[in-house]
Structure 1
């Protein structure tokens, strides 16, 4: 028997089908995503514990925190103002058209204001911090990682989480509610201007209905959402930045992953928080 005949008699290996390849890729992606999420949660818990310990022992990096907070304010304040205007206008126009058909023009102030406070402002804050803030933090830490600065800090006995991550977490927790308040004010004012100029609502009725329906719990829930979103964003950005590898492309991949994960996480978390709050405050927030 020749060599060609022996080779032809060997059983041919079946090639995997398209469905099997898709299932394998999906399972590997899901496992990798869960591992990344677990590392982010572990890093966030460690950073929170170390930060609380530093505050008690008076070793907190206040100067670095203020520096990072000012940096976040510079990269998010103007975009936040620009995002607040369309949010307020869209809510007022869409709600105003529906309410006008029902003959209840005086309720535009309540519907538009509550829409901005409860959903528009926290979502805009989260998306803004997840875009500009997460990209800046992931790029900074990623550049330090590929230059081996983080490894050098570990060699010298300096905890990079204590030196780099904790001040950025504290800065984000301070800036997030400030940006949220800024978006609330500008969004409500822009909606008020549209309601007065385009929809023919009187100023007194607008503010009267807004004050009658809006409560303090609405503002506090909005601020709490912004703080939670900011915490999620900074944890993901720090984790993706510090794990960056492979040169400049690795930094770019880390920034891209930080932005995408932040936006998706904010959308999912906002839905969960809204459902939980509606369960406990059905009359005020439903």
Structure 2
């Protein structure tokens, strides 16, 4: 029984120590700027198409559902307000969760896991190079930045897609849609949405790096670590989404 408890607690402790070391690595000079830019481009390449393919169906679903409900109450002119609120507060962060954890984090875990089983991480330590500063910190920061950009992209896709879907398929007036955009969504909602996305990118990258650096058992262990990354990241990110959504509602209730 103690062994069953000790294992998860030890893994959790190692995760928090790695997180602290990663934050330290972000402010350690010289910062690995080239690695950061390479990882930004790497994460964008593996995440951009999944973002587009996931964002469009979510957008259509929310617009379709809200417009039907609005038409039932004779309030089709507020379609823009509902679509924008859904895109900014839910579609953007949720799609970011799915893409960052499902594509970006798994790619990071597979990369670091492959380096670990090839003993490249041990070689860096022998040379006196801190692998957290050299490899982990740039990846965590890159994932955070890309998550912010992906969230902004998904929000834009959601609003534009909702406009075309509402106007051309559900006969919503274009002017009424545009006029309704700022009714429920203002700067605080945008800021909270970006904060959520940044936290998602940060946590997903930390989980991926933690699993990648603790791979055991050769290539089979890398595959297992990738699967664990998806599961752990989804669990953590959805809990964070619930908490930040509740905080955001409290903060914007009076605005």
TM > 0.5 fold call: yes
SS in 2 for 1:53: coil
Q: What displacement does 1:31 show?
A: 5.3
**CA distance in 2 between partners of 1:47 and 1:264 (Å):** 21
**CA distance in 2 between partners of 1:222 and 1:230 (Å):** 13
**CA distance in 2 between partners of 1:143 and 1:48 (Å):** 23
1:227 is matched with which residue? Answer: 198
2:26 is matched with which residue? Answer: 51
**CA distance in 2 between partners of 1:60 and 1:187 (Å):** 36
TM-score (norm 1): 0.85
> Who wins on radius of gyration, i.e. which is larger?
1
Q: What displacement does 1:60 show?
A: 0.6
In structure 2, relative to structure 1, the CA distance for the partners of 1:90 and 1:33 (3 Å cut) is farther
| Unaligned residue ranges in structure 1 (runs of 5+) | 1-23
RMSD (CA atoms): 1.6
**CA distance in 2 between partners of 1:172 and 1:237 (Å):** 11
Q: Contact 2:28/2:133 (CA < 8 Å) preserved in 1?
A: no
4+ residue segments displaced more than 4 Å: none
SS in 1 for 2:27: helix
1:13 is matched with which residue? Answer: none
**CA distance in 2 between partners of 1:262 and 1:34 (Å):** 17
Matches within 5 A, 1:85-96: 85-96=56-67
Is 1:109 the counterpart of 2:80? The answer is yes
Is 1:35 the counterpart of 2:6? The answer is no
Matches within 5 A, 1:231-246: 231-246=202-217
Aligned residue pairs total 255
SS in 2 for 1:283: coil
Q: What displacement does 1:99 show?
A: 1.2
| Unaligned residue ranges in structure 2 (runs of 5+) | none
Deviations 1:229-285 (A, max 9, x none): 00000000000000001011100011111111111111111001111222222134x
Q: Contact 2:144/2:200 (CA < 8 Å) preserved in 1?
A: no
1:138 is matched with which residue? Answer: 109
Q: What displacement does 1:189 show?
A: 1.1
TM-score (norm 2): 0.95
Is 1:126 the counterpart of 2:97? The answer is yes
